[in-house]
Amino acid sequence: MRKMIMLGIATFLGAADLSTAIEIPDATEILLKDALPAPKLYTMPAGCIVDDSAAIARGNYIFHNLNGKDAKENPPEGLTRLLPNGKEKQMGNCVACHQIEGSQGHGNIGPDLTNYKALYMDSGARTGQFLYQQIADPRLDNPNTHMTVNLANGLFSEREVCDLMSYIVSKK
Amino acid sequence: MHKLSICTALFSLALCGILNAEESMSMNAADKAMYAEMLENNPAAMDIAEGEELFNAQIGQEAYAKMLGVSVKDLPKTIAGFPRLVKAAGKVVTLSQSLQMAAAQQGKAVPKLESKEMVKMSGYVKSLANDLKTNIDVKVNKQMEEMVVLGKHIFEERRGGRGLSCNSCHSPDIIGSRLRMQELPDLGAPTTASASTWHAYRMTQSAMVSFDKRMQQCMKNALLAELPLGSKEMVALEVYVTNKGKGNTIQIPGLKR
């Protein structure tokens, strides 16, 4: 009798041990930290689009590279491969989805941005403000967009968004 | 030993001659030759063989079937339905998690989900279901119903450094477009059959990679924080993506670029 009770306890503990043997790490914190802020309107700062060659060079670099570590060429003045905290600086990798003048190995998920100024801005179809919002947080225009969020989540600074714009509208 | 149909893996499409020149640019002629060679002789077969030894030494089919509450005969079709509710766990678990339970029951050291032993062992056990179709049932009980809903949410939630979700690159309206030079695969289609062809030998990594690990790699590439293997959310994601490819034939190990 006593033996049977002991056995009963042993199997009971055995079953309890079984589910505790499984690794089930908690991902709640990770997901919370990784969440995006709600989409909102951003206002293009004054003097955003410029024809300063240094700004255009930075925009060019951000557009065509994925991150500072893997980039083939050294970044232009005002951009670094690493952030002050030692982590690699993420670039835009816009070319993964967009064709543009001189792009190599570009994808085709997003629209072709070749000749953007003449086709879209000079024609009045697009404003600087639209362009700024589209890069900062495209979810406002299209909640189901496949385009990346670039300012809302702190990937880029305001100036970097403006650098990208200066590059896109520049004469190439 | 492990059959691999010539058109299963993503880039075997190129060999099947239905991929146009532009799209096949992400694999050059030398890569293609190597791919063809590896189709004949998948390097991951070694890992699967080691997994078999480990499994037989640590657990064995009989003990494993018993833990799952099925007969040895029904083991393959039970394996073809993971992730699934395992009674002894009281929740939906992955194949690897069920192996952790079985190892504990045998009084053996429980291999970590990230360990090489686990990848090999779970690869072997999944291969026991080779030639069967994935038969995951997301309606069979409340727990599975909840998991597929959570999995869809995780798949569609934009987050991380670029504000992308899995859906940004794997939604039906975007499949077949190119991200850089990479064609975006339809995870559930028979030509990709993600859930039933991983564990696969990943040529770009020269190693066998499990399905959950492959999904983690997409998170890393797209700057989404990596969900830890075994977390409820990761299991739910596996449920959701597996269900997309329900009915595809299991062929482990797969071969991918």
Among residues A64, A169, A170, A171, the alpha carbon closest in space to that of A127 is found at A169
Q: Hey, what's the torsion of the CAs at B165, B171, B173, B177, to 10 degrees?
A: 80
Report the CATH superfamily, name and number, of domain B28-256. Answer: Cytochrome c-like domain (1.10.760.10)
Q: Please give the pLDDT value at position A14.
A: 53
Chain A residues whose CB is inside 8 A of the B232 CB are: 24, 27
CA B64 to each of CA A7, A74, B140: distance values in angstroms, whole numbers, following the listed order: 21, 55, 22
- Cβ of B165: how many Cβ atoms within 10 Å? 20
Give the nearest partner residue to A146 out of B67, B174, B232, using CB atoms. Answer: B174
Residue B83 φ/ψ, nearest 5 degrees = -65, 145
CA of A65, closest CA in chain B: separation in Å?
A: 11
CA A79 to each of CA A67, A89, A165, B66, B69: distance values in angstroms, whole numbers, following the listed order: 11, 9, 16, 60, 60
Q: Please give the pLDDT value at position B119.
A: 98
pTM higher than the cut 0.95: no
- Cβ of A144: how many Cβ atoms within 10 Å? 11
Chain A residues whose CB is inside 8 A of the B103 CB are: 21
Q: How far apart are CA A94 and CA A13, in angstroms?
A: 56
Q: Given CB atoms, is A10 within the 8 Å cutoff of chain B?
A: no
Q: Please give the pLDDT value at position A13.
A: 46
Q: Please give the pLDDT value at position B26.
A: 64
pLDDT tens digit at each of 257 positions of chain B? 333 333 343 343 333 333 333 334 467 787 788 788 787 889 999 999 999 999 999 999 999 999 999 999 999 999 999 999 999 999 999 999 999 999 999 999 999 999 999 999 999 999 999 999 999 999 999 999 999 999 999 999 999 999 999 999 999 999 999 999 999 999 999 999 999 999 999 999 999 999 999 999 999 999 999 999 999 999 999 999 999 999 999 999 999 98
Low-confidence ranges of chain A (pLDDT < 70): 1-17
Chain B residues whose CB is inside 8 A of the A33 CB are: 225
DSSP A117: I
- End-to-end CA distance of chain B: give it in Å, rounded: 21
Q: Hey, what's the torsion of the CAs at B34, B39, B43, B46, to 10 degrees?
A: -170
Q: How far is CA B115 from the centre of its chain?
A: 16
Q: Please give the pLDDT value at position B29.
A: 80
Q: How far apart are CA B126 and CA B48, in angstroms?
A: 10
Beta carbons of B178 and A90 less than 8 Å apart? no
Chain B residues whose CB is inside 8 A of the A155 CB are: 161-162
- List, in sequence order, the alpha helices (H) in B60-141: 61-68, 75-79, 95-105, 116-127
Q: Given CB atoms, is A90 within the 8 Å cutoff of chain B?
A: yes
Beta carbons of B182 and A107 less than 8 Å apart? yes
Q: Please give the pLDDT value at position B32.
A: 80
Q: How far apart are CA B13 and CA A167, in angstroms?
A: 38
The residue ranges of every structural domain in chain B are 28-256
